[in-house]
Amino acid sequence: MTTMVVVASKHGSTAEIGERIASTLHARGVKAYVKDVGEAGRWLYETDNVIVGMPVYRQKLLGEGTLFLEANRTELAGKPLFLFAVGGAEKLEKKLLDELARFPHREVAYFRGAVDQEKLSFFEKLQLTVAQAPKDADFRDWPAIEDWAHSLLSYGVS
Ligand SMILES: Cc1cc2nc3c(=O)[nH]c(=O)nc-3n(C[C@H](O)[C@H](O)[C@H](O)COP(=O)(O)O)c2cc1C
């Protein structure tokens, strides 16, 4: 059985969460690997379980993530699907949770992410200034991320 962790990530923090989920599963004997959303489609046919993660930008889920779920609805049908969103806010807005939940899934999780100002464009820094949000912060709760990965074993991810 194989598990693919698909990550849509603009600046890398969601990808690192995906890597941690895969390595946590791997340590429990699961054949788990990470693919960027841009190339994940062609690996779907040979994976049993799929985990998809995407960040929130400007109150929206990153389009590459939801587009992947839309575009691969047929291929994903019948495969256990687990979803996670990543954002700077303490909680995921209900409308975004609802948007994710419309894809047939076993679990939806939300993790706080990270911002690194060296990676941000001028406009992104401006947006964060206007929103009075930090430009350099790492809110990732690695034990919670690992706990979630472990919890997937109870769904038969093996
Ligand atoms: C320009 C910008 C806008 C953002 N907008 C939101 C937002 O609306 N809501 C939120 O919870 N987090 C927001 N964030 C925080 C990101 O979701 C967080 O930094 C996430 O970890 C980024 O993931 P990535 O590194 O994989 O791209 C924003 C970050 C940036 C840089």
Per-residue pLDDT, 27: 98
Instruction: Say how many Å lie between the CA of residue 85 and the centre of ligand 1.
Output: 10
Per-residue pLDDT, 29: 97
Domain of 57, CATH number, reads 3.40.50.360
Give the other-Cβ count within 10 Å of 153's Cβ: 14
- The closest-lying atom of ligand 1 relative to the alpha carbon of residue 14 is 26
* Structural domains counted in the chain: 1
Per-residue pLDDT, 112: 98
Ligand 1 binding residues, C-beta < 6 A: 9-14, 55-59, 86-89, 113-115, 120, 124, 127-128
The reply to whether 110 falls in a domain is yes
The reply to whether 153 falls in a domain is no
Per-residue pLDDT, 136: 97
Closest CA to 15 of 121, 135, 113, 82: 113
Q: Can you tell me the distance from the alpha carbon of 3 to that of 12, in angstroms, rounded to the nearest whole number?
A: 20
The reply to whether 93 falls in a domain is yes
Instruction: Say how many Å lie between the CA of residue 1 and the centre of ligand 1.
Output: 33
Tokens 């962790």: give the residue.
5
The reply to whether 156 falls in a domain is no
The reply to whether 157 falls in a domain is no
Instruction: Say how many Å lie between the CA of residue 68 and the centre of ligand 1.
Output: 19
The reply to whether 154 falls in a domain is no
> Residue of the nearest CA to atom 21 in ligand 1?
113
Per-residue pLDDT, 22: 98
- The closest-lying atom of ligand 1 relative to the alpha carbon of residue 115 is 19
Q: Which amino acid is at 4?
A: M
- Total-model pTM: 0.98
Closest CA to 53 of 19, 2, 93, 104: 19
Range of the domain at 99: 2-148
Give the other-Cβ count within 10 Å of 14's Cβ: 27
The reply to whether 155 falls in a domain is no
Q: Which amino acid is at 92?
A: L
> Residue of the nearest CA to atom 4 in ligand 1?
57
Instruction: Say how many Å lie between the CA of residue 123 and the centre of ligand 1.
Output: 13
Per-residue pLDDT, 108: 97
C-alpha dist (Å) from residue 93 to 59, 69, 100, 116, 132: 8, 19, 11, 23, 18
Question: Which segments of the chain have a pLDDT < 50?
Answer: none
Per-residue pLDDT, 49: 98
